[in-house]
Amino acid sequence: MKELSLHILDIVQNSVKAGASEIEIDINEDILKNLLEIDITDNGCGMSEEFLKTVKDPFSTTRTTRKVGMGISLFEAAAVQCGGYLEIESEQGNGTSLKVFFEYDNIDRAPLGNMAETMITVIMGAPDINYVYKHRKAGKEFVFVADDIKNALGGVPIDSPEILNWVKEYISEGLENAGINM
């Protein structure tokens, strides 16, 4: 994948399939420590200990249609190729947390890419979930909470095309104002 935001889009779908009602995406660009950290945490069904042991293996999947599942392995490869790593913690019934670390200035680190597009794509895929997106860089922070938008909308669905386009611009502008350029 060309952008880390595409991996995020892919991994969030695992949380959706795990039946999560809240998914938090936390991005921290710590330039002083030369570290980029991406955390994705959900309150879905979690994994058994046995499945957790094999989950990074591309031939490990919960799918029944075929025997491969590449999402987590690809994200891990994107981290490892630039001196980083991927950790997963999960408890059955209590959700899953995935943390991925990257060397910030490594030449092989893929760019973060378009987070606004990733956010509206996940909202569209499962609009009932409360997505919380926090992005920190150089002491500044941008926070997006999908339920705040839904409350402001009253009954109008958040996945109406006009609303999604508005949300995309809202996130892009918010990131820009926090000095986070995509």
Partner 1 sequence: MKSLAELQQLRDKISKQVDLRKDRENGIRIVVGMATCGIAAGARPVMNAFLNEVSKRGLSDVTVTQTGCIGMCRLEPIVEVFMPGEEKVTYVHMNEEKVARIVAEHIINKQPVAEYTVGAVQE
Task: Show contacts with partner 1 in window 54-73 (CB under 8 A).
Answer: 65-66, 69-71
Q: Among residues 6 and 38, whose Cβ is nearest to partner 1?
A: 6
Task: Work out which of 9, 20, 78, 112 binds partner 1, going by CB under 8 A.
Answer: 9
Task: Show contacts with partner 1 in window 149-178 (CB under 8 A).
Answer: 149, 152-157, 160-166, 168-170, 173-174, 177
15 sits near partner 1 (criterion: CB under 8 A): no
Piece of the chain touching partner 1 by CB under 8 A; list 28-36, 87-95, 134-142, 147-155:
147-155
Q: Among residues 104 and 159, whose Cβ is nearest to partner 1?
A: 159
What x-and-dash track marks residues 66-105 binding partner 1 by CB under 8 A? x--xxx--x-------------------------------
Amino acid 19 reads: G
Rounded CA gap, 5 and 9, in Å?
A: 6
Task: Tell the smallest beta-carbon distance from residue 55 to partner 1 (Å).
Answer: 14
Centre a 10 Å sphere on the Cβ of residue 62 and count the other Cβ atoms it contains. Answer: 11
Note the residues at the interface with partner 1 (CB under 8 A): 1, 6, 9-10, 13, 65-66, 69-71, 74, 114, 117-118, 120-121, 124-125, 148-149, 152-157, 160-166, 168-170, 173-174, 177
